[in-house]
Amino acid sequence: MTTAVSAVDLTKAYGPTRALDGLDLTVRSGEVHGFLGPNGAGKSTAIRILLGLVRADGGAAAVLGGDPWRDSVALHRRLAYVPGDVELWPDLTGGEIIDLLGRLRGGAVAARRDALVERFDLDPTRRARTYSKGNRQKVALVAALASDVELLLLDEPTSGLDPLMEAVFQQVVGELRGEERTVLLSSHILSQVEKLADRVSIIRRGRVVQSGTLAEMRHLTRTAVEATTAAPADGLDRLPGVHGLEATGTRVRFDVDGDHLDGALKHLGGFGVLSLSSHPPTLEELMLRHYGDGEAA
């Protein structure tokens, strides 16, 4: 399997702020790679380095086998980018901008452009000045998705889109996966990454703290359990792998590590379970595990 994007030990400082602090990232060809992190974690800085807009202070990055700074123009013919906050030339219409960007990249597929304009419900005759944020975002999305490129770098691409358009976006990206195109999708919309990504990298304070498939990540995380028992459930706090126990009378709530779930449930069974709910961790909880103070618990 070839690698579309690889970054090794990237560093970048803006004055005293270390935006990237030894970031490692690997995106395999043909996968949709989720790039998750809160605002200010360094996602955009990393992507701007991969685009050759900003030069890394240290480390090495390769995009589609090339050097993102040195070979930027050649690489940009083979990739497309959508920022999270799209600014357009106020005097140009959306249609003009889509065509222009496609042509500057070396040509977009006209049929796909028209289909995307239709699907995203965009009026291409309006001047960019009159577009809402969501509409500006659509212009950039159509321009990027209509071009025939190998790699899409999407930096929180659906900010400002309504849920309907968000769904369209997910459909279109799903179709891209069928075409063996690579997508690096940076986001803090966790459900979006959950639905689309094959693999996920979690970035925090300029470093990737965890990377893998969602299945692998679940393996590392806990399950949230809430139960009501006939008799007060004692002794849970002595079980291995149980965290954050809250007990009020016959109701308990706790998190349990994946490999200790079985033991915890068996223990609960001894008190006569009246109701039980458990759910796999959402990506929100995955994030909390890395950004909250959960690690100490």
Partner 1 sequence: MTATGAPSPGRTAPAAGGAAAGTGALVRLALRRDRIRLPAWLLGITVFVPYFYTVLGVVSPTQEALEESTALMDSPMVRLFAGPYFGFGEVTLQRSFLVYLPEFLLAAAVMSVLLVARHTRGEEQSGRAELVRASAVGRHAQLTAALAVAVLANTALGLLIALAMVALAFPAGSGLLFGAAVAATGLSFAGITAVTAQLGESSRTASGLASAALPAAWMLRAVGAVQDEAGGWATWLSPLGWPQLTRILDDERWWPLALSVLLFAAGAAASYALAERRDLGGGFVGTRPGRSTAAPWLRSPLALAWRLQRRTVAWWGTAVFAASLCYGGLGGAMDEGAVDLPAEVVGGPAVDVLDGYLSIMTVSMVFVVCFFAVVSVRGLRRDETSGRAVAVLTAATGRAAWTGTSLLVTAVSGVALVALVGLGTGLGAAASVGDGSLLPVLLGAALARAPEVLLTAGLAAALLGWAPRAFGAVWAVVVYGVCLRFFAPDLGWPDRLLATSPYNHVPRVPVEEPALVPTAVLTVLAVALAALGVWGFGRRDLDG
The footprint of partner 1 (CB under 8 A) covers 48, 51, 53-55, 72-74, 76-77, 79-81, 83, 85-89, 91-93, 95-101, 103-106, 123-127, 129-130, 140, 143
CB closer to partner 1 out of 103 and 243: 103
Handedness of CA 91, 96, 102, 103 (dihedral sign): negative
Q: Which amino acid is at 23?
A: L
Instruction: Kindly state the smallest distance separating residue 253's Cβ from partner 1, in Å.
Output: 39
- Do residues 154 and 186 lie in contact, with contact meaning Cβ atoms separated by under 8 Å? yes
Q: How far is CA 90 from CA 99, 130, 159, in A?
A: 16, 8, 20
Burial of 279 (0-12, 13-18, 19+ CB in 10 A): exposed
CB closer to partner 1 out of 151 and 264: 151
Instruction: Kindly state the smallest distance separating residue 156's Cβ from partner 1, in Å.
Output: 13
Instruction: Kindly state the smallest distance separating residue 183's Cβ from partner 1, in Å.
Output: 15
N-terminal to C-terminal alpha carbon distance within the chain: 39
Instruction: Kindly state the smallest distance separating residue 216's Cβ from partner 1, in Å.
Output: 32
Please work out, in degrees rounded to the nearest 5, the angle formed at the alpha carbon of residue 267 by the alpha carbons of 250 and 289.
Answer: 85
CB closer to partner 1 out of 71 and 257: 71
Strand, coil or helix: 231: coil
CB closer to partner 1 out of 34 and 95: 95
CB closer to partner 1 out of 55 and 243: 55
Instruction: Kindly state the smallest distance separating residue 179's Cβ from partner 1, in Å.
Output: 20
